[in-house]
């Protein structure tokens, strides 16, 4: 699985009708910045509101997953989301000029192909995985539905379906790595049983459904007059049923295509958790309602275990965004004043780095002999150097600029910093940078403890203008 976040290199567009609304729409995938996430935007509505791909925005589960936010509703998002997750894309804006993504052929393959055509681009931010550390179970005993997420340092999914049908029987599908999605799952089409068609039409669903974008499974004897009715329903001159029980002799792409499509739906629905997941997912007879209930259960666990949101999530197992040599190329400081060892987070408005404090630091030789405590002024200096990386990252040629600390306000020291501590520094812009002046809220943490904080102002100046 990818370590860093990804977006697409360029915009790409598809058009078609929505499966349930039957409304034509053009959908445009656009690149997005790190930590943007997956968002939809209704460009046909006044104000062009956006809708976060978030399970708490789900408002309807009638044969698909519908989300809504700020007065904008997006129907049937699961096939689109499955393609994005299957390609391990983290940041994308999906613009729609209608209420529903095009159904295309009823699978995710057209979305996958379009995104692959756009190309993927690695970004300078780590993926914010949620690793399942204890089993999460969702059961609906009356429907014999069960979904489970179990600890695994990967993302694997297995789905079992059983429709008590002589045509389908019991089926299962699985992928052992999310990279298999594009080749093994993405082309599997949505399906329904013949006996569901009239009910769905009465509910004003599948208005855009045709025999080219859905598999209709016939699990009973059908009279000739009903075939005529179905031909009219699907605007076809004639429909037939082959002995396998698939309407109009549609060929399955896989013997277990229905089970594979259920896995596709599960991938798309679980995208609404809002973070990439590391887990083994097992699902027996899943459907959208159960998938969303399961996704909410996972999100609630994430929220329950989320520590103080101020504290950056530092994982020492991951590589640096900027290592000590790259930091040295941006900042002029040298021994003994290089006080930041690693930058592990950086976006347009915030930065986070670490300082490993050891007894070998030169300042311990003369500061509080016999009682080694990191000087507060050096904690602020390390914080300022971290903020300097943020300020310098806003220009295309940081090697040609100096970043000067020009003000310190509201400085507080909360706890002592001792040898053996790893200090995590975080600086966040409080206002946009104007006329080369940046104002930042700086914080330093050891574990879950805030050890110092200050409001820092810095000036960025071209070296040839000094």
- Hey, which residues are catalytic here? 288, 367
Kind and range of the H or E element at 440? strand 437-446
> How far lies 360's CA from each of 336, 357, 384, 425, 451, in Å?
11, 8, 22, 20, 21
Does residue 336 have a cis peptide bond before it, meaning omega lies within 30 degrees of 0?
Answer: yes
Strands (DSSP E) found in 117-227: 120-126, 130-131, 136-140, 145-150, 155-162, 170-175, 191-193, 215-217
Nearby residues of 369 by Cβ (< 8 Å), 6 or more positions away: none
CA distance 428 to 405: 15
CA distance 281 to 135: 10
Angle at 64 between CA 61 and CA 69, to 5 degrees: 65
Q: Which of 417, 433, 432, 431 is nearest to 382 (CA)?
A: 417
64 CB-side CA count, 13 A: 27
Query: Coil, strand, or helix at residue 338?
Result: coil
Nearby residues of 463 by Cβ (< 8 Å), 6 or more positions away: 400, 401, 402
Angle at 327 between CA 326 and CA 333, to 5 degrees: 130
Q: Residue 89: phi, psi to the nearest 5?
A: -95, 130
């Amino acid at each position: 699985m990818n370590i860093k976040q990804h977006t697409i290199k360029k915009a790409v567009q598809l058009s078609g009708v929505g499966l349930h609304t039957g409304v034509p729409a053009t959908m445009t995938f656009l690149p997005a910045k790190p930590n943007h996430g997956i968002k939809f935007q209704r460009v046909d509505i006044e104000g062009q509101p956006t809708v976060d791909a978030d399970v708490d925005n789900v408002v309807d589960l009638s044969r698909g997953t519908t989300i809504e936010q700020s007065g904008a509703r997006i129907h049937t998002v699961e096939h689109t989301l499955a393609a994005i997750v299957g390609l391990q894309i983290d940041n994308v804006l999906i613009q729609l000029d209608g209420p529903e993504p095009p159904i295309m052929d009823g699978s995710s393959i057209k979305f996958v192909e379009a995104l692959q055509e756009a190309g993927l681009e690695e970004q300078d931010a780590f993926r914010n995985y949620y690793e399942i550390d204890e089993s999460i179970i969702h059961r609906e005993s009356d429907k014999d539905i069960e979904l489970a997420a179990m600890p695994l340092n990967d993302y694997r999914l297995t789905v079992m379906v059983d429709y008590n049908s002589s045509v389908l029987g019991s089926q299962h599908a699985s992928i052992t790595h999310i990279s298999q999605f594009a080749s093994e799952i993405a082309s599997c089409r949505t399906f329904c049983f013949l006996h569901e068609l009239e009910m769905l039409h009465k509910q004003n669903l599948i208005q855009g459904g045709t025999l080219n974008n859905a598999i209709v499974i016939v699990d009973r004897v059908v009279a000739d007059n009903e075939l005529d009715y179905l031909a009219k329903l699907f605007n076809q001159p004639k429909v037939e049923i082959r002995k396998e029980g698939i309407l109009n002799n549609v060929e399955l792409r896989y013997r277990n295509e229905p089970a594979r499509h259920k896995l596709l739906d599960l991938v798309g629905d679980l995208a609404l958790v809002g973070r990439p997941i590391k887990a083994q997912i097992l699902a027996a007879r899943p459907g959208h309602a159960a998938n969303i209930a399961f996704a909410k259960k996972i999100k609630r666990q994430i929220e329950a275990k989320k520590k103080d949101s101020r504290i950056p999530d530092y994982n020492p197992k991951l590589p640096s965004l900027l290592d000590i040599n790259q930091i040295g190329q941006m900042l002029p400081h040298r021994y003994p004043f290089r006080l930041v060892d690693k930058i592990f987070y950086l976006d347009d408005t915030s930065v986070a780095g670490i300082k490993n404090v050891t007894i070998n630091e030169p300042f311990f030789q003369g500061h509080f002999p016999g009682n080694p405590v990191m000087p507060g002024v050096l904690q602020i200096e390390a914080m300022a150097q971290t903020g300097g990386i943020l300020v310098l990252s806003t220009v295309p040629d940081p090697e040609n600029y100096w970043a000067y600390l020009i003000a310190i306000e509201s400085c507080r020291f909360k706890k002592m910093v001792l040898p053996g501590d790893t200090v995590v520094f975080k600086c966040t812009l409080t206002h946009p940078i104007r006329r080369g002046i940046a104002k930042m809220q700086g914080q330093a943490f050891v574990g879950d403890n805030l050890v110092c904080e200050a409001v820092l102002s810095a000036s960025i100046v071209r070296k040839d203008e000094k």
